[in-house]
Amino acid sequence: MRDIRVASVQFQHFPGDKAANLERVRFFVEQAAAAGAEMVVFPEMCLTGYWHLRHLSDEQIRALAEPVPDGPSSIQLREWSRQFQMTIGAGLIEVTPNGTLHNSYLVTMPDGGYACHRKLHAFIHPLIQSGDQYTVFDTPHGCRVGVLTCYDNNIVENVRITTLLGAEILFAPHQTGGCRSRSPHAMGPIDPALWERRKENPAAIEAELNGPKGRGWLMRWLPARAHDNGLFLLFSNGVGVDDDEVRTGNAMILDPYGRILVETGRAADEMVVADLDAYAAQIASGEIVVPTAP
């Protein structure tokens, strides 16, 4: 691995409006390029929208699905990767040649290559099937990347296996925070009115985003995924109203020691950028042993 500048984005998607969501992706790709980033990650299912999908009929959800890598969204992302010489990750609904649907995360690369992760623990709609393999791949940036989508990251073994397959950087796209959880100690709903009044009273909604329903929940486990496996972690999340829930954003980039290099707690579409230090990764993985004083 070498030093590399990367970016993570949080944005509020438009439910079912792929054209509008692609425009937001393009905006941030341009911003990432201007900042000198070579990789940028976007949230889970950011191209289609997420939580509203559970209400759709089979016909409606199939209408949103696309093949990978030859569907229109894939073609557009691949073109932007070539144009901006950047690796781009974004989530969509994939339809396979046999008609199976997946919650997929497409990563396009500037050399024309691509990778596609099918969420291992999918539950948004009965038609969307869980994936059955891990996704780890080489990039033209001199580093090896793994992808785990949202709940995939909650399972310790998934991150460990991804690391053992050689991942040095983990893309972790989410749609989380503000969830109605069966556990009394995990997240909880946020009043959508706080989001709607975010411009008049940003402190009220940002207290929720950064409290136990958002950042506080993440801090109970997310840094451990990076630290225990010695990898960089790029956390990207939706933000704002998502059907009847409020996503909490908290886009952040963590180093192999679980330290947060950069983050945002703002109630807005936003991008964070960080430089990943290859030397730190080599020490964390044991490739380089730093001598101690006798």
CA distance 5 to 232: 12
Residue 286 Rama label (left phi>0; alpha psi -120 to 50; beta): left
CA distance 162 to 156: 10
The answer to whether 271 and 30 have CB atoms below 8 angstroms apart is: no
Number of other CB atoms surrounding residue 224 within 10 Å:
13
| Amino acid, single-letter form, for residue 92 | L
Q: What is the pLDDT of residue 293?
A: 57
| Amino acid, single-letter form, for residue 241 | V
Q: What is the pLDDT of residue 285?
A: 66
Q: What is the pLDDT of residue 279?
A: 78
Those residues of the chain that have pLDDT short of 50 are none
Q: Identify which of 286, 237, 280 has the alpha carbon closest to the alpha carbon of residue 4.
A: 280
* Residue 43: both structure tokens together: 């949230």
Q: What is the pLDDT of residue 54?
A: 96
CA distance 132 to 11: 28
The answer to whether 129 and 99 have CB atoms below 8 angstroms apart is: no
Q: What is the pLDDT of residue 280?
A: 76
* Residue 274: both structure tokens together: 């960080």
